[in-house]
Chain A
Amino acid sequence: MVKTQRFQIMIIAGAFLVYPFFVSDYFIDIAFYFGIYALLGLSLNIVLGEVGLFDLGHAGFYAIGAYTTAILNTKFGIPIFVLLPVSALAAALFAYLVCSPVIHLQGDYLLIVTLGMGEIVRLALINNPFDLTGGPNGVFGIDFPTFGYGFDIDSSIEFYYLIWIIVALSIFGLIRLQKSRIGRAWNYIREDEIAASANGVDVKNYKLLAFILGAALAGVAGNIYASKLMCVSPESFTFWESCLMFCIVLIGGMGSIPGVIIGAAFISLFPEIFRPFAMYRMLVFGLAMILMMMYRPGGVWPRKRGAVEFRSLLGPAARREDV
């Protein structure tokens, strides 16, 4: 069982490794954005999938990561790779500051607050505070990542490998977290908050931890995105991006890492496949989501021990009364 699993993982990893040698730069770029969405999906999955917290402002953390990289790189010339952990920390710190006061909110209340948080970040960027963010135009002229010695990451294929190595490392870490007491504590909270606290889980801290880790991963995605595009602008971090991340987790199956990758593939490849019908693709997309919720509410690839239905998360407030 374990052996076949390892074999499957090697096949998939091998496919990702050789993929860029068989396709044009255009398709490599598509696979790069697939990687970005996979990373964003994994980051939201910690908050939404593992802990069951509604977060519709995740693009805010993504934006903080991207703008931290953009500003520090263009103003001070700090190398992109040095800014990778800095962006993660900046997004994590932001998450800590913003989420601490609202972490006790339940279900849809938290959803509204995070939605507002994401929009406030975007509007703040447009308003160009302290002349740092460049307003609606954003920040231009961000460097490519460089290791020194003249080895730069500047081609599509190199960016492709960079993002997927980071995705692979994240998956590795997240799977280990899932199997640890931290991952279980997150799941306990999602399943029943009161029972979790009655069993010794410090609910507030674990929720905050999820937000902080999720934001840090989104910050990493922002860092790579900024250096790939060489510019950032507020319109890359709209409410729609948060929605897409939400969809990735829902489509794949909450708390399921393979599910998130499939969801990211769906979100990033779907517009390409339906490019000829660009006018109707949102219609098809909406229809697909409705059908999903009807026939596979647990996602395409739910976590093995049992699907977590989106609907069941709407209930914790109702379940609270009868302690």
Chain B
Amino acid sequence: MSDLQARPDKEIVLETRRLSKIFGGLTAVNMIDLQALKGEILSLIGPNGAGKTTVFNVVTGIYKPEMGNVFFKGSDITGRKPHQIVSYGIARTFQNIRLFPDMTCLENIMAGQHCRSSSGVFSSIFQTPHQRREEERIREIAQARLRQVNLWAFRQDLAKNVAYGSQRMLEIARALASDPYLLVLDEPSSGLNPRETEILMEFLTELIRTEDVTILLIEHDMNVVMGISDWVVVMDEGRKIAEGTPKDIYNNQRVIEAYLGKDDEEEEIDHGTTAEH
């Protein structure tokens, strides 16, 4: 608990208390306490199968937790539906990109504004002034986000036809288009080459600097975790085994054990070491 005192005194955007999710006999998430502070990048790391994505799915409403609560900006949002949670201001991306493949990049990003608009069937058929203004606004916001991720040139291309790295950025742009307070990114750098990862890191730090947004990140690439996180939470087998600043985590004996327990993960820690020195 002494770790927690080291954190700056900022508004808590997202908090989970004793969050647990059980699948059959398997406790995928076991009493997880998380606190994401305003304007921070909070990273969630851990070996494969540690339950990181499950935490994300519970936070974003895809799963209902068996126990515990999720608080967003002070109010309890446990068990709300995904579409409600977006409207509160939590937007997410997926580990395996989930775009709308047969729709254009622009239409993909316009999805983000769906929860911020309200026109119904009749106002859409008769194109009331309110509906027209709303469509105009949706389009403008989507275009701005598309420019922000440098994909303006692809606005009329189908999402399935753009490069993998661009699809990742497109998904982040779609999440941003909903004007979120909290951006939940599930392994944004997976499948990206080092240069694309570099661009992504710059993009995220720039985003934190310029916009009123907090980022919750699952990441396997230790360069990214150590490079941009303000706070790191380590999970293993559904439990939180450590948390702290990237530096603390990097020297933490339990974390190293958790990773070294799996031979194939060893390399990643080494990777982090070389990055640090």
A185/B114 in contact, CB under 8 A: yes
Whether A194 sits at the interface, judged by CB under 8 Å, is yes
Report if A88 contacts B (CB, 8 A): no
A182 touches B121 (CB 8 A): yes
Docked-complex contact A198 and B62, CB < 8 angstroms: yes
Min CB distance B85 to A, Å, is 8
Please name the residue on chain A nearest to B118 by beta carbon.
A181
Query: Which chain B positions have C-beta within 8 A of A198?
Result: 60, 62, 82-83, 86, 91-92, 94, 98
Interface size class of B (residues with CB under 8 A): 35 or more
Is A273's CB within 8 Å of the partner chain B?
no
Q: Is the CB of B98 within 8 A of A180?
A: no
Q: Tell me the smallest distance from the CB of B46 to a CB of chain A, in Å.
A: 18
- For A293-323 the 0/1 string (1 means CB < 8 A from B) is 0000000000001111000100000000011
**CB-defined contacts of B138 to chain A, threshold 8 Å:** 181
Q: Which of B53, B92, B100, B115 contacts A191 (CB 8 A)?
A: B100
Contact indicator B125/A176 (Cβ below 8 Å): yes
Interface of A is mostly: helix
Contacts of B111 in A (CB 8 A): 184, 188, 195-196, 199-201
Residues from 253 to 272 in B contacting A, C-beta threshold 8 Å: none
Pick the most buried of B53, B121, B158: most chain A CB atoms within 10 A of its CB: B121
Does A177 interact with chain B (Cβ within 8 Å)?
yes
B119 within 8 Å of A by Cβ? yes
Contact A176 B124 (CB under 8 A): yes
Residues from chain B with a CB closer than 8 A to the CB of A323 are: 53, 57, 62, 94
Residue of B nearest to A308 (CB): B102
| B107 and A184 within 8 A (CB) | yes
In this assembly, does A129 line the interface, its C-beta being within 8 Å of a C-beta of chain B?
A: no
- Interface status of B81 (Cβ within 8 A of chain A): yes
Contact of B100 among A177, A179, A180, A195 (CB under 8 A): A195
Taking Cβ atoms with an 8 Å cutoff, the residues of A that contact B are: 173, 176-177, 179-185, 187-188, 191-192, 194-203, 209, 213, 305-308, 312, 322-323
| 9 A–B contacts, CB within 8 A, in A order | A181-B119, A182-B119, A188-B111, A192-B100, A194-B94, A198-B98, A199-B115, A202-B81, A209-B121
Besides the known contacts A182-B120, A323-B62, 5 further A-B residue pairs in the complex with CB atoms under 8 A apart: A176-B127, A182-B124, A199-B174, A203-B83, A305-B107
